[in-house]
């Protein structure tokens, strides 16, 4: 007898659009469950992540009632996990345990049985995980066979579960089959059952075929709704299993544990699934790694001798690959520390709820799916971080402090008032890396730079996802461009986009060169370490460059506004004819470049010609004193005022990234560069100016 242990994982990230959930429900979640209910002999284990589960309970009672009935008759086992699908390894221990326990309690309340196993988000495993899992009250989890192969086992030894431990805390670990992940649901059911039949001759240890993967493969991924449902793949799959019950027994994971002993002991290395090892590498290395994998695949069976020793990077590499991911993660840790230190009560409960939502894994990384590249997911994460802090800190007093927030060995300066948070990085050009408006829980600095990706070289040969024979293509094999001309947008940034970036531009730098990052500053200030002087009203930052001295002071004006006073002296080789002092901002509103967001410019002479402009507009304006960025839907407004009239260069920042539906252009924020002509004073040029920035609600 061969056992078949199937696990389906349905997930939607916190902050995802409601229409996305509706479409996934219509295309996948509901038709899959309804079809399964018609085949009671086919058992499986099901995981719905917490954000999705809450949505289903609130919006889709028919789904919940049907699932309850299937649980009661023993057809479906509900699997737990971290409530909002965090990568458990990178959140604090108390939050790991709290998220798992909250999910277990919710499942027990709704379905009447506490889960005994967890879905491990993105299968990110680190060797200390068993201690957390046991403390949280569960006993098994599912990872990939790739994890086991990295520990030295071969695939023919992976026909069941193993035990592992940390400090004597034992858990059971199932190896999900990579082969089944690529067969289900992409190949005809005959090919799948033939593979299952062959396992009896192939497996040397155990007798179970183990599958665990995303439910979105069944209808949400491009082309799969037609293939899985309209063309009958799912019914054919179920029929094949039912006709094979004399030798194939479907089981839930918990049921299999009760029937079979573990195959042995194993210690898994720090890893995730194989594709994650590619995605987490730096761009050039990721490309080389992917090319090596393709080369090995062409070598046939001999390649397996090498494959088992390849891994790529680990999930934490995303914090090195993307400074925006690292900052978001460290801000989450800062909020976790504040919530953990708070006294028990309504504020701590509310703060914990928002903190857990902010730990949803999706905006922290990027692979084939949008993830970090999707601004609405980052917006949601920051919203919940700010709300978590607001819930446990209602102080109206202004505070100025220093702390190494991003764990790079250099302190950031934090200015907090009743209404705003400012995070300033002296190490990175004295720039403003985060600006929050606390009443609306908005981070105006939630931008993303245009980073080179290992897959960008594929864009010029992107083509439609035509099928290869019978079946449906896996998302990993697709090359689709969602619009023509995306290769023209492949412009890349050298540094993280932030605000109050100081630049010295010469007359040869054009608007087009600036927007494409195809120029060099006359004096590089953007990534230099500025000195810091604190007082009770603000912070003064200064930098003596080779040919320039720049000083800027961030000062609190009132609860929702601050000033930045500039003084600069430019001499030496930098004192070239036509040199301009540039102060660069990179900003984003919650509704991005949608119709609810726009600029308004002052003075009135400008307003007559451009009373408003979309945030995806670009161009130059001269003689500008003020610009307002307005988000009418969210109801926030940011105003920047310059004491000295400026020339404003503005343009949208677009990235080109991969999503489940192909290459796409995504708005990541707007760059506003204020240009000034310094005054000549003999041997030097001098620049003096003051900016006022105000965040408020838009009425």
Please compute the mean of the pLDDT values over residues 464-493 and round it to a whole number.
Answer: 65
Specify whether 520 is located in the same domain as 608: yes
Specify whether 429 is located in the same domain as 464: no
Please compute the mean of the pLDDT values over residues 396-415 and round it to a whole number.
Answer: 96
- The DSSP secondary-structure symbol of 559 reads T
CATH number of the domain bearing residue 190: 3.20.110.20
Residues forming beta bridges with residue 535, ordered by sequence position: 538
* Residue 625 to residue 641: CA distance in whole angstroms: 6
Residue with the two structure tokens 């078949």: 4
Specify whether 208 is located in the same domain as 335: no
* Residue 174 to residue 160: CA distance in whole angstroms: 7
Beta strands 561-570 and 548-558 are antiparallel
Lowest mean pLDDT among 47-56, 82-91, 484-493, 517-526: 517-526
* Residue 4 to residue 43: CA distance in whole angstroms: 9
Specify whether 337 is located in the same domain as 474: no
* Residue 29 to residue 16: CA distance in whole angstroms: 16
Catalytic residue among 122, 419, 628, 631: 122
3-state class (DSSP) for residue 576: coil
Distance (Å) of CA 298 to CA 150, 256, 465: 22, 37, 21
Q: How many CB atoms lie within 10 A of CB 79?
A: 28
Specify whether 463 is located in the same domain as 601: yes
Specify whether 340 is located in the same domain as 481: no
Question: What pLDDT score was predicted for residue 522?
Answer: 79
Residues forming beta bridges with residue 561, ordered by sequence position: 558, 694
* Residue 233 to residue 253: CA distance in whole angstroms: 24
Alpha carbon of residue 192 to chain centroid? 33
3-state class (DSSP) for residue 165: strand
* Residue 401 to residue 8: CA distance in whole angstroms: 47
Question: What pLDDT score was predicted for residue 470?
Answer: 45
Does a structural domain hold residue 650?
Answer: yes
Question: What pLDDT score was predicted for residue 310?
Answer: 85
Nearest to 365 by CA among 409, 432, 320, 428: 320
Does a structural domain hold residue 664?
Answer: yes
Q: Which residue range is the domain that position 354 belongs to?
A: 317-443
Nearest to 3 by CA among 147, 210, 303, 257: 210
Residue with the two structure tokens 């995306």: 486
Beta strands 44-48 and 2-10 are parallel
- Residue 59 has φ and ψ, to the nearest 5°, of -110, -25
Residue 219 zone, left/alpha/beta (φ > 0; ψ -120 to 50; rest): left
Nearest to 679 by CA among 583, 569, 574: 569
Q: Is pLDDT of 464 > 50?
A: no
Please compute the mean of the pLDDT values over residues 394-416 and round it to a whole number.
Answer: 95
Known catalytic residue at 122: yes
From 272, 305, 332, the end of a domain falls on 272
* Residue 90 to residue 99: CA distance in whole angstroms: 13
Does a structural domain hold residue 579?
Answer: yes
Question: What pLDDT score was predicted for residue 608?
Answer: 58
Q: Is pLDDT of 35 > 90?
A: yes
pLDDT, tens digit, for every residue of 344-388?
999 999 999 999 999 999 999 999 888 999 999 999 999 999 999
CATH number of the domain bearing residue 525: 2.70.98.10
Mean pLDDT of the chain: 93
Question: What pLDDT score was predicted for residue 610?
Answer: 59
Does a structural domain hold residue 347?
Answer: yes
For residue 185, whether the previous peptide bond is cis, meaning omega lies within 30 degrees of 0, is yes
Through-space distance between the first and last CA atoms of the chain, rounded to whole angstroms: 68
Q: Is pLDDT of 196 > 90?
A: yes
* Residue 386 to residue 141: CA distance in whole angstroms: 32
Does a structural domain hold residue 461?
Answer: yes
Distance (Å) of CA 4 to CA 119, 216, 368, 590: 18, 20, 28, 46
Alpha carbon of residue 578 to chain centroid? 42
Query: Whole-model pTM?
Result: 0.95
* Residue 421 to residue 438: CA distance in whole angstroms: 7
- Sign of the four-CA dihedral 472, 473, 475, 476: positive
573: exposed, middle or buried (Cβ count in 10 Å: 0-12, 13-18, 19+): exposed
Catalytic residue among 139, 214, 231, 411: 214
Q: Is pLDDT of 609 > 80?
A: no
Beta strands 208-214 and 2-10 are parallel
Question: What pLDDT score was predicted for residue 323?
Answer: 98
Residue with the two structure tokens 């790991």: 96
| 325 CB-near residues (< 8 Å, 6+ apart) | 318, 319, 363, 364, 365, 372
* Residue 369 to residue 362: CA distance in whole angstroms: 9
pLDDT, tens digit, for every residue of 140-151?
999 999 999 999
Does a structural domain hold residue 194?
Answer: yes
- Residue 57 has φ and ψ, to the nearest 5°, of -65, -40
Question: What pLDDT score was predicted for residue 552?
Answer: 97
- Residue 629 has φ and ψ, to the nearest 5°, of -110, 120
| 137 CB-near residues (< 8 Å, 6+ apart) | 100, 101, 104, 114
pLDDT, tens digit, for every residue of 632-682?
999 999 999 999 999 999 999 999 998 877 899 999 999 999 999 999 887
Specify whether 332 is located in the same domain as 468: no
Does a structural domain hold residue 308?
Answer: no
Cα pseudo-dihedral 25, 29, 31, 36, rounded to 10: -160
Question: What pLDDT score was predicted for residue 474?
Answer: 46
3-state class (DSSP) for residue 475: helix
Nearest to 117 by CA among 254, 252, 316, 243: 254
Domain count, the chain: 3
* Residue 373 to residue 618: CA distance in whole angstroms: 22
- The DSSP secondary-structure symbol of 72 reads H
Q: Is pLDDT of 463 > 50?
A: no
Question: What pLDDT score was predicted for residue 479?
Answer: 60
* Residue 578 to residue 576: CA distance in whole angstroms: 6
Specify whether 430 is located in the same domain as 507: no
Does a structural domain hold residue 38?
Answer: yes
Nearest to 457 by CA among 288, 659, 324, 315: 288
Specify whether 418 is located in the same domain as 504: no
3-state class (DSSP) for residue 264: coil
Residue with the two structure tokens 């949505």: 55
Residue with the two structure tokens 């993830």: 371
Specify whether 218 is located in the same domain as 85: yes
C-beta of residue 173 within 8 angstroms of C-beta of residue 126: no
Q: How many CB atoms lie within 10 A of CB 342?
A: 18
Specify whether 569 is located in the same domain as 674: yes
Question: What pLDDT score was predicted for residue 306?
Answer: 83
Specify whether 427 is located in the same domain as 575: no
Distance (Å) of CA 33 to CA 21, 28, 30, 120: 16, 8, 5, 22
| 210 CB-near residues (< 8 Å, 6+ apart) | 5, 142, 145, 158, 160, 174, 175, 176, 177, 180
| 261 CB-near residues (< 8 Å, 6+ apart) | none
List for the chain the helix, strand, coil content (%; round to 5).
Answer: 35, 30, 35
């Amino acid at each position: 007898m061969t056992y078949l242990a199937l696990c389906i994982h349905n997930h939607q990230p916190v902050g995802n659009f409601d229409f996305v959930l509706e479409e996934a429900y219509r295309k996948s979640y509901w038709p899959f469950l309804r079809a399964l209910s018609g085949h009671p002999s086919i058992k499986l284990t099901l995981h719905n992540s917490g954000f999705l589960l809450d949505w289903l309970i609130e919006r889709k009672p028919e789904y919940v009632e049907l699932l309850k009935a299937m649980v009661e008759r023993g057809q479906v086992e509900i699997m737990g996990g971290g409530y909002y699908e965090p990568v458990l390894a990178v959140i604090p221990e108390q939050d790991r345990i709290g998220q798992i326990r909250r999910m277990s309690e919710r499942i027990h309340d709704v379905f009447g049985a506490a889960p005994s196993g967890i879905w491990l988000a993105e299968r990110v495993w680190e060797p200390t995980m068993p201690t957390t899992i046991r403390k949280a009250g569960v006993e098994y989890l599912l990872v990939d066979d790739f994890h086991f192969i990295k520990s030295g086992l071969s695939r023919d030894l992976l026909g069941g579960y193993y035990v592992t431990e940390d400090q004597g805390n034992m858990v059971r670990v199932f190896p999900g089959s990579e082969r089944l992940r690529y067969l289900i649901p992409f190949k005809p059911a005959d090919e799948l059952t033939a593979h299952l039949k062959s396992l009896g001759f192939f497996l040397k240890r155990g007798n179970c075929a183990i599958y665990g993967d995303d439910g979105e493969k069944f209808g949400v991924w491009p082309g799969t709704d037609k293939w899985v449902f309209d063309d009958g793949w799912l019914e054919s799959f179920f029929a094949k299993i039912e006709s094979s019950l004399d030798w194939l027994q479907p089981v839930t994971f918990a049921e299999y544990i009760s029937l079979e002993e573990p195959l042995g002991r194993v210690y898994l290395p720090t890893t995730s699934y194989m594709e994650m090892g590619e995605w987490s590498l730096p761009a050039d290395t990721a490309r080389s790694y992917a090319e090596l994998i393709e080369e090995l695949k062409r070598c046939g069976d001999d390649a397996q001798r090498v494959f088992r020793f390849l891994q790529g990077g680990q999930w934490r590499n995303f914090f090195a690959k993307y400074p925006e991911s690292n900052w978001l993660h460290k801000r989450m840790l800062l909020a976790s520390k504040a919530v953990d230190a708070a006294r028990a009560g309504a504020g701590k409960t509310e703060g914990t709820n928002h903190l857990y939502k902010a730990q949803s894994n999706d905006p922290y990384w990027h692979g084939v799916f949008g993830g970090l590249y999707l601004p609405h997911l980052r917006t949601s994460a920051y919203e919940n971080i700010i709300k978590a802090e607001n819930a446990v800190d209602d102080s109206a007093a202004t505070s100025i402090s220093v702390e190494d927030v991003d764990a790079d060995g250099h302190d950031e300066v934090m200015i907090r008032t009743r209404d705003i948070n400012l995070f300033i990085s002296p190490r990175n050009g004295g720039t403003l890396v985060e600006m929050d408006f606390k009443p609306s829980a908005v981070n105006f600095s939630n931008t993303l730079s245009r980073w080179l990706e290992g897959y960008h070289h594929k864009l010029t040969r992107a083509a439609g996802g035509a099928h290869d024979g019978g079946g449906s293509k896996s998302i990993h094999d697709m090359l689709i461009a969602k619009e023509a001309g995306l290769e023209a947008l492949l412009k890349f940034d050298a540094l993280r986009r932030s605000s109050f970036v100081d630049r010295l531009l010469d007359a040869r730098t054009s608007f087009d060169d600036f927007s494409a990052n195809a120029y060099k500053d006359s004096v590089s200030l953007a990534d230099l370490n500025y000195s810091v002087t604190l007082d009770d009203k603000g912070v003064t930052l200064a930098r003596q460059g080779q040919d320039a001295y720049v000083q800027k002071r961030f000062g609190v004006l009132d609860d929702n506004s601050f000033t930045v006073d500039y003084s600069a002296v430019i001499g030496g080789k930098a004192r070239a004819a036509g040199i301009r002092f540039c102060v660069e901002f990179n900003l984003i509103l919650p509704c991005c470049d949608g119709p609810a967001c726009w600029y308004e410019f002052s003075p009135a002479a400008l307003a007559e010609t451009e009373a408003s402009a979309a945030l995806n507009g670009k161009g130059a304006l001269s003689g500008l004193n003020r610009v307002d960025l307005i988000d009418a839907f969210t109801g926030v407004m940011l105003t920047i005022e310059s004491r000295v009239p400026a020339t404003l260069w503005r343009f949208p920042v677009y990235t080109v990234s991969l999503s489940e539906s192909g290459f796409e252009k995504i708005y990541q924020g707007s760059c506003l560069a204020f240009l000034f002509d310094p005054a000549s004073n003999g041997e030097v040029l001098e620049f003096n100016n003051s900016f006022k920035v105000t965040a408020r609600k838009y009425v």
